[in-house]
Amino acid sequence: MAKAARRGDRHECPMLGPPPASKPHGSGVVIGGASTVQVGFQGAARMGDACACPGIPNAIVTGSGTVTIEHRPAARVTDRTAHGGALTSGAADVEIG
């Protein structure tokens, strides 16, 4: 089981920016989240929720195969984002299978 991700938790984005610098986007936070389910006083993150990232929009693209929140798979630490990154922080006391 992995820690539940929430609005405000961090993700890493390895996608490269435009040349000539071509640096990775770096880290950002989950900016989407459930309106009716909270984890640690923040909206629970789900597959499809947006993540702040420089440049083009980013979103969570994987989630739990057994737990849904508002009809979408719950997101957990290590779930992937559209830019090839992953969620890196979550609730210390809530785990999702």
The answer to whether residue 96 sits within a structural domain is: no
Domain of residue 10: give its range: 1-91
Task: Give per-residue pLDDT as tens, 9-56.
Answer: 999 999 888 788 788 888 999 999 999 999 999 999 999 999 998 878
Asked if residue 90 has pLDDT above 90, the reply is yes
The answer to whether residue 45 sits within a structural domain is: yes
Q: Which residues contact 84 (CB under 8 A, 6 or more apart)?
A: 13, 14, 15
The answer to whether residue 97 sits within a structural domain is: no
The answer to whether residue 16 sits within a structural domain is: yes
Closest CA to 62 of 51, 76, 83, 52: 76
The answer to whether residue 61 sits within a structural domain is: yes
Q: How far apart are CA 36 and CA 73, in angstroms?
A: 14
Give the CATH number, domain containing residue 33: 2.60.200.60
pTM metric for this prediction: 0.92
Rounded mean pLDDT of 62-91? 98
How many domains does the chain contain in total?
1
